[in-house]
Amino acid sequence: MARPIIGIISNSHMISDQYEVQGAGVINIAAVAEVTGGLPLMVPADPDHVHIQDLMTHCAGFVFTGGRPNVHPEEYGEVETAAHGDFDRKRDRLALPLIRACVEHGLPILGICRGFQEVNVAMGGSLYPEIRDLPGRTNHRMPPDGTIQEKFALRHAVTFTDGGVFHQLMGAREVMTNTLHGQGIKQAGARIVVDGVAPDGTPEAIYVEGAPGFTMSVQWHPEWNAADDVVSRPLFEAFGEAAGAWDRFGEMRPALKTA
Q: Whole-angstrom Cα distance, residue 88 to residue 189?
A: 21
Give φ, ψ of 88 to 5 degrees: -135, 90
Q: Is the dihedral of CA 57, 114, 196, 126 positive or negative?
A: negative
- In angstroms, how far is the first alpha carbon of the chain from the final one? 32
Q: Which residues are catalytic?
A: 113, 221, 223
Best CA proximity match to 181, nearest among 122, 231, 117, 123: 117
Side chain identity at residue 30, one-letter code: A
- Write out the H or E segment, with its range, that includes residue 103: helix 89-105
